[in-house]
Structure 1
Amino acid sequence: MNDDQRRAANAAQLASPSYRMAATDPDFLLGDSMRGVRFQMEYAKAEESLRSWGVRSTIVVFGSARIPEGHRWYEGAREFGRIASEQGGAIRGTVGQPRDNVIATGGGPGIMEAANRGAMEAGAPSIGFNITLPHEQYPNPYSTPELTFQFHYFAMRKMHLAMRANALVVFPGGFGTLDELFEILTLRQTGKAPTIPIILFDESYWRSVINFEAFAEHGMIHPSDMDLFAFADDAETVWAKLLEGGLQPHEARE
């Protein structure tokens, strides 16, 4: 039997999905049994890139994807991204030096775009942790391309957002923004995350949408939990309050 005859004889076997190598079989990799593997892969891929860029710590910035350029909130996030990147240690002074307080966002438009943009304008890298959504979300053009990721699992995206965070700065937003805010507040309250400063931008907005004091008045939180966060109304004040809250610029770590 020659090669052509051999291939014809076992064509069904060669064409069967079971004959594909596991690592190159998309049907297998995307099946239910590989969910844990996919979860691990989402962790490892981003982790490898962040380490290769020397990212030791981040400042997470969240806010609405609906805020346009020119709006006070957009420009505040843009200015904060610049200030934090210039003064926080995201720009390497020497080869091999770790990067601290690198701006990290959800990678989308609006406030997230603005913060990534400010970092880029400062000459610093920044991170975009994008998520696949039913309505296609595209990464903004200002996050560093090599640090722009796409996640399927919200849980893994949240883990990467939280695990290096030295601080959280939350601009006005909707459900997604509240989700990230209360995620970190809960980790802080329960001691599952280190002590990091959390700043809410535009006190009037936040007090108009959330009655924080009511949580304490009804006994749902301890009054001291109100100290887990602070307010600021401009980018310079955000940076100052982060420093007051214990944020260390890169130079202070050396």
Structure 2
Amino acid sequence: MLRGDLVPDSTHDQRLLDRKGPTDWLHMDPWRVLRIQAEFVEGFGSLADLPPAVTVFGSARTSRGSADYDMGVRVGHALAKVGYAVITGGGPGVMEAANKGALEAGGISVGLGIELPHEQRLNEYVDLGIEFRYFFVRKTMFVKYSEAFVVLPGGFGTLDELFEAVTLVQTGKITKFPIVLMGTTYWQPLLDWIKGTLLVEGMISPADPELLHLTDDPDEAVRIIVESNSKPEQEIIEARVRAASEEENGT
């Protein structure tokens, strides 16, 4: 962790992708491959033993006590109650909220952080955290170790993860991978544009909009994820869903 004046002016991603300046990169890039390889090895090693997990995305700018923050806590709690580990980007805002909900429900709370040009640290509710230098390594970990994505209101970073996941499902790179959008008021205009512009203009197939599920209810989000996944371990999770529902209803 670096803070204050020790924070570099550029990130490893910037230096990797920037081809301006001297030709030092000709000699440095082959060595960067080893550093990238080390990040993959560290990520795979640290996350290999996770139980079924769900990644929750959303804005780092969401303030504590806001409706979106409270929804993030409820989502993390609902996922953890039925046995899912909760993975986030490890930062503040919605990420912190989901980690908090998972931790308070007795679940596994995971944060996959990223080096940024400004100070940011893993939030206090992460009990398994990894800091990455390269976005593409981190994105691989989100997809590889998740059964689904739950997406709360967010900005460019959230949209990036959302549309990358949709593209992977659309192209068959990953299968049986539900993507749930939390917040009907926030996301409905985007879905209207997808159906009213992309679909009408023939840019996507008629079935593609159905890859996205929209709800305001964390319990419904959990049901969507469970019903969309047919792996054997889901039978255990489905039983936990029923047990959690019966507990809340007092039966």
Please classify the TM superposition score into its range, dividing by the shorter chain length.
0.7 to 0.9
Q: Which amino acid aligns with 1:136?
A: E
CA offsets, 1:43-92, max 9 Å, x none?
111221223xx2143201000011112111111111111111111x2xxx
Return the TM-score normalized by structure 1: 0.77
Matched, 1:237 2:223: no
Report the alpha carbon displacement of residue 206 of structure 1 after superposing the two structures with TM: 1.0
Instruction: Spell out structure 1 runs of 4+ moving beyond 6 A.
Output: none
Quote the residue 1:4 is aligned against.
Answer: none
Give the distance between the partners of 1:200 and 1:252, measured in 2 at CA. 21
Matched, 1:143 2:138: no
Quote the residue 1:72 is aligned against.
Answer: 67
Cα pair distance change 1:34/1:160, threshold 3 Å: same
SS at match of 2:147: strand
Matched, 1:105 2:100: no
Alignment of 1:182-197 (within 5 A): 182-197=163-178
Q: Which amino acid aligns with 1:135?
A: H
Quote the residue 2:109 is aligned against.
Answer: 126
Return the TM-score normalized by structure 2: 0.78
**Unmatched 5+ residue regions in structure 1?**
1-29, 90-100
Quote the residue 1:25 is aligned against.
Answer: none
Quote the residue 1:62 is aligned against.
Answer: 57
Cα pair distance change 1:58/1:252, threshold 3 Å: closer
SS at match of 1:165: coil
Give the distance between the partners of 1:192 and 1:253, measured in 2 at CA. 26
Cα pair distance change 1:102/1:116, threshold 3 Å: same
Give the distance between the partners of 2:202 and 2:67, measured in 1 at CA. 35
Give the distance between the partners of 1:140 and 1:252, measured in 2 at CA. 27
The alignment covers a number of residue pairs equal to 209
Give the distance between the partners of 1:70 and 1:162, measured in 2 at CA. 29
Task: Report the aligned-residue RMSD.
Answer: 2.0
Report the alpha carbon displacement of residue 234 of structure 1 after superposing the two structures with TM: 2.3
Give the distance between the partners of 2:237 and 2:187, measured in 1 at CA. 32
Quote the residue 1:81 is aligned against.
Answer: 76
Quote the residue 1:156 is aligned against.
Answer: 137
**Unmatched 5+ residue regions in structure 2?**
1-26, 240-251
Give me the identity figure in percent: 40
